[in-house]
Structures are given as C-alpha cells and as structure tokens.
C-alpha cells in the first residue's frame, strides 16, 4: 500500500471527519513515530493549504502548480490527494481548528518547533506562487503560526525568505541585525544551514518528496548571506 493510499484509507475509515482522521493517525501509528510524523505533516500541509485557498477566495493555477511542486506524488495518487484536499475545503471546521489539531499531531507544541516551521514554510511557498503574498494570506499564516506557538520574530524571518528577491532584507532572512559583527552573522548563517539541510527535514519527518521546501529555504539563506558578505566587503 502506497503512502497516499494509507492516508486515504484513514480518511475513508473515519467517515471524512477531521477529528477522526487526527485520532486515527495518532492511534494507528502509535508504535511508529517516524511514519506518524510523515503522515501528520502531509495531512497538515494538504489540509491547511486547502483552508488557505478558501480563505483567499481564489484558487489559481499557480497555487495548484505550487502544491504539486511540493507534493511530488505519482500521477496515480492524484485522486487520493485531491480527495483529502477537497475534504478540508468542504469541512465546516475553521482553519484554526485544523491548525490546533495538526499542531497536536506534529509536535509537542513547544515554541518554534522545527516541524511546524516546515509547515509554515510550505504554506508560504504555495501562497507566493502567484507572484505576491496577499494580505489575507499573510493574516492566515500569521494566525496559524500563532497557534503553532511560533514567536513573532521567527515568523518574520520565515516571511522574509519568501518576499520578492529585490525586496528581501538579507538581515531579516538570517534573523540578524546590521549592527552585528560579521563573524556573528557568519556563525548564525552556518547554524541555519545546518538546521535546514534537506537531510534534517527528512529526519524531522518531512517526506523526501517535499524537497521544494528545503531547496527554497537554502537558496534564500545563501542569497542573504552572500548579499551581506558583499556589502561588508564593499564597506
């Protein structure tokens, strides 16, 4: 049984109810935390991206394409993914209820949990796909981040990675200040690179198929560091 078949079987067995899906994942994979993290992350990404599309009011082709860019699922699994996506869009439960339940599945709800940050990062990837981050999308993501117990500064760091390259503040991307010594900035950059290497995402339970998140993140971090390094050399 494929990864997506397993998720669909959970949805079917629980009568298409979010609460039932969450509890089924918790129960069925109790002895397999690695698989549970992967399933939970995937369900969270699908469900919350569907809710974000609904909150925005318009589902664009670019958003659909970005969704598929993150979820490199095989063509024969498209029906399974679409069913879960549509379930989330049609569910009367609000996105805040989804976020709370997914937070309870994906992590311990500690502040700045890496797994929950990965979800926010993936949602930003989809939100910006039409060329802009809209006010309603930013509000949606900010509220989800709050439910995920993410500090405001950390949320701003993540958002800075996703603004248009010409508008991005490299210091914001790395979470440092222009007043900081370059050696400290270099140290911070190396820590971020270590924390956000694709292998680390896999270790946190992010399915390997979702490499777009890691690739985008590393590109943004590298570009920010290079911009600061060039600025300091010119000074």
Directed axis angle between helix 78-90 and helix 33-56, to 10°? 60
Task: Using the Cα atoms of residue 97, residue 98, residue 100 and residue 105 in order, give the sign of their dihedral.
Answer: positive
Tell the residue number behind the tokens 């694709």, with chain if given.
Answer: 198
- CA-wise closest residue to 153 among 115, 112, 99: 112
- CA-wise closest residue to 140 among 159, 167, 153: 159
Tell the residue number behind the tokens 């503040």, with chain if given.
Answer: 169
The 3-class secondary structure across the chain, one letter per residue, is CCHHHHHHHHHHHCCCCHHHHHHHHHHHCCCCHHHHHHHHHHHHHHHHHHHHHHHHCCCCHHHHHHHHHHCCCCHHHHHHHHHHHHHHHHCCCCHHHHHHHHHHHHCCCCCCCHHHHHHHHHHHHHHHHHCCCCHHHHHHHHHHHHHCCCCHHHHHHHHHCCCCCCCCCHHHHHCCCCCCCHHHHHHHHHHHHHHCCHHHHHHCCCCHHHHHHHHHHHHHHHHHHHHHHHHHHHC
pLDDT for residue 187: 95
pLDDT for residue 47: 79
pLDDT for residue 222: 92
Do 4 and 37 form a contact (C-beta atoms < 8 A)?
no
The token duo for 110 is 């500690």
pLDDT for residue 59: 61
Q: Could you tell me the mean pLDDT of each successive run of 10 residues in the chain, 235 residues long? A: 64 62 69 72 78 69 68 70 74 77 65 79 82 84 92 89 75 91 94 84 67 79 92 83
Do 125 and 66 form a contact (C-beta atoms < 8 A)?
yes
CB neighbourhood size of 194 (10 A): 9
pLDDT for residue 3: 59
């Amino acid at each position: 049984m494929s990864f997506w078949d397993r998720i669909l079987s959970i949805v079917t067995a629980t009568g298409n109810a979010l609460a039932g899906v969450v509890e089924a994942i918790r129960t069925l994979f109790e002895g397999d935390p690695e698989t549970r993290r992967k399933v939970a992350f995937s369900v969270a990404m699908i469900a919350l991206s569907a809710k974000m599309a609904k909150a925005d009011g318009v589902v664009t082709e670019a958003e659909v394409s970005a969704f598929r860019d993150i979820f490199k699922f095989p063509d024969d699994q498209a029906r399974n993914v679409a069913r879960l996506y549509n379930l989330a869009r049609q569910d009367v439960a609000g996105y805040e209820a989804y976020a709370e339940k997914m937070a309870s599945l994906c992590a311990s709800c500690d502040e700045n949990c890496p797994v929950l940050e990965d979800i926010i990062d993936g949602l930003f990837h989809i939100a910006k796909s039409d060329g802009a981050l809209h006010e309603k999308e930013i509000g949606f993501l900010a509220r989800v981040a709050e439910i995920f117990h993410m500090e405001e500064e950390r949320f701003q760091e993540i958002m800075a990675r996703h603004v248009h390259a010409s508008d991005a503040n490299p210091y914001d991307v790395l979470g440092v200040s222009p007043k900081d010594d370059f050696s400290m900035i270099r140290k911070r950059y190396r820590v971020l690179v270590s924390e956000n290497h694709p292998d680390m995402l896999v270790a946190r339970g992010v399915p390997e198929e979702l490499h777009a998140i890691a690739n985008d993140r590393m590109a943004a971090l590298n570009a920010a560091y290079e911009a600061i390094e060039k600025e300091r050399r010119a000074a």
